[in-house]
Amino acid sequence: MLSCESLPQPKTVLSAAASLAASALLFRTIASDLIPTDYVKNLFKRISNQLTVVIDESDGLTPNQLFEAANVFLGSKLSPSTHRIKVNKPEKDDELTVTVDRNQPIIDVFQTVKCKWILQTERIDVPANSNARSELRFFELSFHKKYKETVLKKYLPYVLKKATEIKDEKKAVKLHTVDYHGTDYWGSVVLNHPANFETMAMDPEKKAELLDDLDMFVSRKEYYRRVGKAWKRGYLFYGPPGTGKSSLVAAMANYLKFDVYDLDLREVQCNSDLRRLLIGTKNRSILVIEDIDCNMGLQNRESEKGEAPNPIGDDDKISLSGLLNFVDGLWSSCGDERIIVFTTNHKERLDPALLRPGRMDVQVEMSYCTYGGFKVLASSYLQVKEEEKVELFGEIEGLLKKVEVTPAEIAGELMKKTENVESVLTNLVDWLQMKEQST
């Protein structure tokens, strides 16, 4: 056991420590003078097991899609240790956009691969009178070298896909209408229609079948490519006025986050204009042609065959053949995830050429209000369930089997101001009985 007398004096210890620190500082100074800093950095890079991928914001002219995707994706990966974030509110989006700020490490794990992201900036020289940005932004993505193939072939495509999903979830659905003064013949406004599948007064089975078909369609990108078909789907909604055809289109748009292009063919001058309008539509969109049987002078193909040739040419009017050529032709292959919806009050008036699969893949009859549809309306408008008013609901069920009324008519009755829910339902029963007596 050491005695207190054998321990070095504090003065000796401090002197030795000071000498060691001075030696280390001298060595560092000599090393800095003799060995270039860049050389040391490169040496460490060569012996490191990390690989860094640089993702520039642009190549000077064209924006880098992967940089934008990483910016969106990392905004959803912020952790409590992140000290600085950036928040933006795009004019046409519903929600705030959150992105990472400079020099904030973000760690993400993909299939056990640890990926470290850092947003960096670099000053660049630009002419004094130039409007060009004076800094270059880029992401540095670091990971173990042995995972290079996994990161490049799986992780980065995953980032692109997730970023698209995040943007689609946040984006505001827009309604586009024909505008010949616009750059692509379309003008747009935000579609604030509140319709959704929960509030649609449809037969529950038809609603479930339609939802399943939509989900199947958006998930089959690779399938459509494999079979050599354009990634599009055609729907026909038919039934009496007031059965919810337009509301169903809005519900589809809100469900899928697809923009709606409302094409009134009466506003289209000729086939050339129709071609420009269709080319101007974007991916992930619903093209709607309402009242296809009567909203314009569409001739069927049989009458077209019997006409004498037009000396001016066929491009001065819209024909059914022209419409079908655009729906089936090259336009349909110039984008992805396109839905075409035709609506009509009179299915029997349609040319059979419109009804074949590939043009109208799914036909949905929008019928008069059923009891299932009424229950949806009662829940939405009155917040009442069947078990709460069993007797009144039973009377209404029996009357709906005898009387043809549209969901719009039922909704109108439910919206009338009365003292309480029971009064509203009682008045509805009286109204349905009057309809029954008048038929």
Tens digits of residue pLDDT in 139-185: 999 999 999 999 999 999 999 999 988 887 777 889 999 887 777 78
The more confidently predicted of residues 126 and 398 is 398
Looking at the domain covering 174-365, what would its CATH class be?
Answer: alpha beta
- Contact residues for 287 (Cβ-Cβ < 8 A; gap 6+): 261, 263, 278, 281, 338, 339, 340, 341
pTM attached to this predicted model: 0.70
Residue 100 has pLDDT above 90, yes or no: no
pLDDT of residue 190: 87
Domain coordinates of the chain in residue numbers? 47-126+133-170, 174-365, 376-438
Q: Report in angstroms the alpha-carbon separations of 149 from 162, 250, 433.
A: 19, 43, 72
Asked whether the predicted pLDDT for residue 234 surpasses 80, the reply is: yes
**For the chain, percent of residues with pLDDT exceeding 90:** 33
Strands 85-88 and 97-100: antiparallel
Identify the pLDDT of residue 336. Answer: 79
If one counts every other C-beta atom within 10 angstroms of the C-beta of residue 48, the result is: 12
Tokens describing residue 358: 């590939």
Average model confidence (pLDDT) across the chain: 81
What's the number of CA atoms in the CB half-sphere (13 Å) around residue 177?
7
